[in-house]
Amino acid sequence: MTTYKEPVSPIGTVAELFAGVGGFRIGLARHGWKTVFSNQWEPSTKAQHASDCYVFNFGSDGHSNEDIEKVLDDHIKAGKKSTVVPKTTLVVGGFPCQDYSVAKTANVARGLVGKKGVLWWQIHRLIAANRPPMALLENVDRLLKSPASQRGRDFAIMLASLGDLGYSVEWRVVNAAEYGFPQRRRRVFIVARDLKVFPLGKGFEPTEFLTKNGVLARALRVQPLPQGTEVVSIQLTGDLAEITENFDFKGKVSPFRNGGIYVDRVAYTHKLTPTIHAKKPLEGFLVAEKDVPEAFFVKEDALTEWKRLKDAKKAERTHSSGATYTYSEGKMSFPDPITEPARTILTGEGGSSASRFKHIIQTPSGRYRRLMPIELERLNGFPDDWTRWLSKGVEASDVRRAFFMGNALVVGVVDRIGKVLADDWVAHNAKR
């Protein structure tokens, strides 16, 4: 099974924001990336379970468990000699999909501001202050089509804000199962690179970049585009407040496809199709039935409720405005097929109560059961029992461990991207 080893001879350093339980760190370490700063902090709660789990596994050196906005306030206030957040080769983070809109300040001379509490702007602040050569970020694929009233606006703001700092930005929506991993987890991965360090060159050609030459094209191979195909180009004009107001105004479909590259205020994008990888079915990651605790088996009298929740349904409902509408849900598999990759793990996967969204499988003996935390870890590519301990002598509950994995990423995808980034960084240094 997967293991974690701290790199002995690092090729570059990493700052990990919104670190969770360390998925980025595990995947990157395999290719010589050493994480020297990490931040994990949950607002509005005294308990800091994810941070505790992170420290149990990695130690406390370089780890921060306080509001990242305050951390960066101190860092930026300290100026160029700040040691609060060390300068690193790479900044990484999985951040929430929020409203990234920007408004002009009351005193326009003071510039533009994003909404307080939106975590994207903390990533932006760190990149602007420390100027890392590279950044690797992860988000839900909904980012490409938010908000509903201006499809793609939030992503456009993000691209423009990074581009205006002097970075090129690649993105790809990745279904992990299509690249040979055992979970159908769909996320958008974003790679930003300082154009002064990694110039695209005079021969830059968007189609070749998206399908062959880019970081994501080399890490996660795609099929060639049909001959004569041209990528869509999207020009972003105006400052961030103007993009907020005008981008795809009243648009119903996002112009951003599942892959693209942004440079010099132009986004080049096209639908990309992964190369074929052999499927890894759920059954290869399960604990033997004899080793499953009784608490994970579903009692016979509870199966009716599980089946009801998984079944298709249609019902008339009334909106708060008084209008009636029909609410419907499609049928979900009961039980989940173990000969296919697992569905996406959600934060509510834990606990014994019946659920539409939890996995339920049938064992060789014919009994039904839920997935164990160790199996959820395997489906995300974490070492066995990675989330078991919060600190020495304090075990995490099964519900908490499932929550960790619902928030985590597929480590193997980071592994592949991290290898290409490492190769490029070594090649860059060799030329100096």
Which CA distances in Å does 155 have to 139, 158, 340?
A: 11, 5, 32
H or E element at residue 123:
helix 120-130
Tokens of 279: 């499927």
Q: Find tokens 């000699």 and name the residue.
A: 81
DSSP string, 251-265: -SS-S--SEEEEETT
Q: Tell me which DSSP letter residue 213 carries.
A: I
Q: Find tokens 């349904």 and name the residue.
A: 313
Which of 340, 376, 342, 336 shows the shortest CA–CA distance to 356? 336
Handedness of CA 379, 384, 389, 390 (dihedral sign): negative
Whether the CB-CB separation of 104 and 241 falls below 8 Å is answered with yes
Grouping H, G, I as helix, E, B as strand and the rest as coil, residue 25 is: helix
Tokens of 244: 């907020």
Tokens of 146: 């938010």
Helices 49-58 and 398-407 cross at an angle (nearest 10°) of 80
Which of 400, 316, 299 shows the shortest CA–CA distance to 353? 299
Whole-angstrom distance, CA of residue 75 vs CA of residue 78: 5
Whole-angstrom distance, CA of residue 264 vs CA of residue 52: 42
Q: Which of 11, 84, 97, 119 is catalytic?
A: 97
Helices 398-407 and 373-380 cross at an angle (nearest 10°) of 10
State yes or no: is 53 an active-site residue: no
Burial classification of residue 148, based on how many CB atoms lie within 10 Å of its CB (0-12 exposed, 13-18 middle, 19 or more buried): exposed
User: What is the biggest distance separating any 2 CA atoms in the chain, rounded to whole angstroms?
Assistant: 71
Which CA distances in Å does 68 have to 71, 119, 122, 283?
A: 5, 9, 7, 40
CA angle 367, 368, 369 (to 5 degrees): 125
Query: Active-site positions?
Result: 97
